[in-house]
Copies of this chain bind each other. A is one copy, B any other.
Amino acid sequence: MSIELINHISKHISIDRKDLESVAGFFTPVQAKKKENLVTAGLHCKYNYFVVKGCMRMYFITEHGSEQTIQFALENWWMTDLEAFNKGKTASLSVQTIESCELLAIDKPSMEKMLATHPQMERYFRMIYERAYSASLFRVQFIFQFSKEDSYLHFSNAYPNFVQRIPQKILASFLGFTPEYLSELRRKRVKIGLRGKAGKDRKS
């Protein structure tokens, strides 16, 4: 098992090395190319994924046929269509890599067996889904709290490195506006930045 998942589990719960090695046996390493669909709406959702390296997104197809991104997963995050994965239903959400990714995959029977063999892992996943739930609530708050322009400013200030990793079209979709509007905002910010700099230059 990757050192990343070992570290992540050890950060959350007390578990000895022997158990960690046994937990490792339930996972399958997956190398995924950029823009590869790991979960596809309408198809059986077989795996839950832990991101060792790379970046993924969750999206759905709107009634107008466009892709609406609703969540991202970076290193140390889990991603799947959880309801479909748990209930053995076809997915209603899709998961796609944004960059080439190193992942660890686990299917539902292995997950259940792993949790039965190592019940202390229930605590780890309880914490993981508490965090995911809180993040999702924050996302809803974010949608209602900010205007389109403010949501971009808040997002790019809070996660400057992450914003550099995501294609403009996907970031625009996540924030709920068109790529053209995002380009306009970015141009505006550069302009304001230059003006601010010029102002400072004049003062000095």
Interface size class of A (residues with CB under 8 A): 20 to 34
Can you show 5 pairs from A to B with CB atoms below 8 A apart?
A: A70-B140, A93-B137, A125-B130, A136-B136, A136-B137
Q: Which residues of B contact A129 (CB under 8 A)?
A: 126, 129-130, 132-133
- Give bound CA distance, A120 to B115, whole Å: 11
What 0/1 readout, one digit per residue, does chain A (65-88) give for beta carbons within 8 Å of chain B? Answer: 000101100000000001100100
Chain A residues in contact with chain B, CB under 8 A? 58, 60, 62-63, 68, 70-71, 82-83, 86, 92-93, 115, 119-120, 122-123, 125-126, 129-130, 132-134, 136-137, 139-141, 143-145, 176
Q: Which residues of B contact A63 (CB under 8 A)?
A: 145
User: Can you tell how many copies of this chain the complex includes?
Assistant: 2
Question: Can you list the 3 inter-chain pairs with the closest CB atoms, starting with the nearest?
Answer: A136-B136, A129-B129, A122-B122
Q: Which of B68, B70, B82 lies in contact with A133, CB distance below 8 A?
A: B82
Q: Which residues of B contact A132 (CB under 8 A)?
A: 129, 133
Closest to A126 in B: B126
Interface of A is mostly: helix
Closest to A119 in B: B119
B145 x A140 contact (CB < 8 A): no
A119 x B126 contact (CB < 8 A): no
B82 x A141 contact (CB < 8 A): no
A130 x B68 contact (CB < 8 A): no
- Give bound CA distance, A130 to B119, whole Å: 17
B130 x A86 contact (CB < 8 A): yes
Q: Which residues of B contact A60 (CB under 8 A)?
A: 141, 144-145
Closest to A125 in B: B126
Q: Which residues of B contact A143 (CB under 8 A)?
A: 140, 143
A68 x B145 contact (CB < 8 A): yes
Q: Which residues of B contact A122 (CB under 8 A)?
A: 119, 122-123, 126
Q: Smallest distance from the beta carbon of A92 to chain B beta carbons, Å?
A: 8
- Give bound CA distance, A156 to B193, whole Å: 47
